Structure 1
Amino acid sequence: MNDTLQYLLDLLDLERIEQDIYRGDSHPSVIPRVFGGQVAAQALVAACRTVTDDRLPHSLHSYFLRPGDPGAPIVYQVDRIRDGRSFTTRRVVAVQHGQPIFHLSASFQVHEDGLEHQEEMPQAPDPESLPTADELLPRYADTFMHPDVVPLLLEARRAIDLRYAVEPPYATVGEPREARSRVWFRTDGKIQGVHDNPVVHLCLATYVSDMTLLDSVLLAHGRGGWTVGDVVGASLDHAMWFHRPFRADEWLLYDTDAPTTQNGRGLARGQIWTRDGRLAVSVIQEGVVRVPRDRS
């Protein structure tokens, strides 16, 4: 594993400071707040630490309450809501400076055989045929608000190999398009050793799921996002359902759409597919999507 992937895995390896209480650090962020995917992933790690190994999370529902301070540790307090014969429920509150910034409820289930079906995977170009972030982002350097956005974005996503299967929002500012986005992603390196377990792969997918989910909202309105300066955005809530096993170090297709935007909020839906066509994860998020007012 390369150093940046090891750093991300270490970030998700929370410190236990008391029974059902954990502490995590933060990744340097492009924006002056903690990246939402990091908080969600760390909270899920904390919940998993209190559940027996035969049960994996099948869903999570969460709310972002306050912006996190990237310069301070985050404390995760886990409540053991219920331990049933088939299902387990946990609630996690993330606290900084004495205030809750995020809370998550997660449900776990023992494996069961039963009925099964799924939709057909959407078509997308092979990920190897698509430009890497290092190749793509510099093409649009003049589009961003500040010249240092490109190196900051590249550094923030260094552990994740993320490739757009369609043009990103910042590529076609002012041109409304279909409210649908697709990206391939995987960790930038193979996960090995003690980190190679199903919980880590689930938490890494949770981390990445907040990166591009609102892109489909921006595309519908020809907006480039906060990096361009034509939208102010933030995640409000985030829900995920884990359907089938997958590995985060193998290519996954993240297909998202946006059915509605209104009242300063946009709703985005996502599906994460394995390369061989299995629907692995479903995601829904609502976020703040505001057009900045002219302050002149």
Structure 2
Amino acid sequence: MLDVTKKLVELLYLAPTGGDHYRGESQDLGFPHVFGGQVLGQALMAASHTVEDRLCHSLHAYFLRPGNKKMPIEYEVQRVRDGRSFSVRRVIARQDGKEILTGSMSFHASEEGFEHQVEMPDAPNPETLRSEQDWGKMMAPQAPEALREIMTRDRPIEIRPVNPTNPFQPDKRPPLKQSWIRALGPLPDDPVLHRCLLTYASDFSFLGTSLNPHGVSFMNKELQAASLDHAMWFHRDFRMEDWLLYDKDSPSASAGRGFNRGNFFNQEGVLVASAVQEALIRRR
């Protein structure tokens, strides 16, 4: 396992502090605050620690405050219900005694049932695309010095965007995005970890889908952008070392908020998970 991947796995495996409470360290990705996907992934791991023989099939979370990347995060899990087929957990993430995220996770015992799915959209083979890191190295000379390390750093989640935009010269495009993603493995045979990793990765390049029609990027100093909530549904088993197509669209933006949807398909065309997020996209 690569060092950057090992660090991410260690970040997601939380330390128990007693009584369904857990502690996670914070990761500095160069953003002003803690990356939202990290808090989501750790919250799901905390809840999963309190459930046996059931995997998460859905989660719904709200981002309440920006997290401090220099402080650890405390997670409290509340056991809402354990039924015959489903278990529900509530998770609260805190820093300095203040809630930064609250969410609910539902876990389902394995069973057989009806099967159908939408068809996988067309997308180029990931092996024909450059990674975000490659694009970052190409554009680094245009970037302020403070951003160059962020754009070129090694990362545990490899992202290969389809038809990427130039963040320094964004053009107006339809509210659609695609990227291939995978973790740089190998990884342990732990389905909980793979769900937490996908939850972590799902927050990358999601919010920006709603910015496409407006020709605005995160480099625009007039833009105030932040994730407001995030939901995930896990449909079928997958492994994060395998390429997954992240197909995203934004059907609406209004009142300073952008609404984003995403589906994850493996290379065989199987729909394995879906995500939804609403974000603040406000001109200052």
What amino acid sits opposite 1:150 in the alignment? R
TM-score normalised over the length of structure 2: 0.96
Identical amino acids, percent of aligned pairs: 44
Which residue pairs with 1:118 in the alignment? 117
* Other structure's SS at 1:148 match: helix
Alignment partner, residue 88 of structure 2 = 89
**1:212 maps to 2:211:** no
CA shift in 2, pair 1:7/1:233, >3 Å:
same
**Could you tell me which residue of structure 1 aligns to residue 46 of structure 2?**
46
1:240 & 1:183 partners in 2: Cα distance? 17
Q: Which amino acid is the alignment partner of residue 235 of structure 2?
A: H
**Contact 2:137 / 2:151 at 8 angstroms: preserved in 1?**
no
How many pairs align? 284
Does residue 1:170 correspond to 2:167, yes or no?
Answer: yes
The aligned runs of 1:147-296 (5 Å cut-off) are: 147-155=145-153, 158-168=155-165, 170=167, 172-173=169-170, 175-191=171-187, 195-225=188-218, 227-292=219-284
The C-alpha deviation readout for 1:193-237, integer Å capped at 9, x for no partner, is xx3210000000000000111121111111122x34352211000
Q: 3-state DSSP class of the match of 2:167?
A: helix
Q: Aligned equivalents of 1:202 and 1:154: distance in 2? A: 26
Q: Which amino acid is 1:128 matched to?
A: E
Mind listing any 5+ residue stretches in structure 2 that lack a counterpart? none
Kindly provide the amino acid, as one letter, of the partner of residue 218 in structure 1: L
CA–CA distance in 1 between the matches of 2:121 and 2:280?
A: 28
Distance between the aligned counterparts of 1:185 and 1:121, measured in 2? 15
Partner of 1:79: 78
34-43 vs 162-171, which moves further: 162-171
- Report the Cα distance in structure 2 between the residues aligned to 1:262 and 1:8, rounded to whole angstroms: 35
Aligned twin of 1:8: 8
Q: Counterparts of 2:87 and 2:264 in 1: how far apart (Å)?
A: 24
Check 1:154–1:38 CA distance in 2 against 1; reply closer, same or farther (3 A cut): farther
Mapped partners of 2:133, 2:36: distance in 1: 23
Contact 2:137 2:152 in 1 (8 A): no
SS in structure 1 opposite 2:89? strand
- Is contact 1:169-1:222 (8 Å) kept? no
User: Once the 2 structures are TM-superposed, how far is the Cα of residue 268 of structure 1 from its aligned partner?
Assistant: 0.3
Alignment-mate amino acid for residue 245 of structure 1: D
SS of corresponding position for 2:278: strand
Letter in 1 for 2:268: D
CA shift, 1:133, in A, is 2.4
Write the letter of the residue equivalent to 2:196: C
What letter matches 2:41 in structure 1? A
Residue identity opposite 1:204 in structure 2: L
Structure 1: tracts of 5 or more residues without a match? none
Deviations 1:112-138 (A, max 9, x none): 111110000011111111012232113
The alpha-carbon deviation at position 92 of structure 1 amounts to: 0.3
Q: Secondary structure of 1:200's match?
A: helix
Alpha-carbon deviation of 1:100? 0.5
Question: Residue 140 of structure 2 contacts residue 151 of structure 2 at CA under 8 Å; is this kept in 1?
Answer: no
Q: 1:153 to 1:47 in 2, by over 3 A?
A: farther
Asked whether the 8 Å contact 1:30–1:153 carries over to 2, the reply is no
* Contact in 2 for aligned 1:118/1:279 (Cα 8 Å): yes
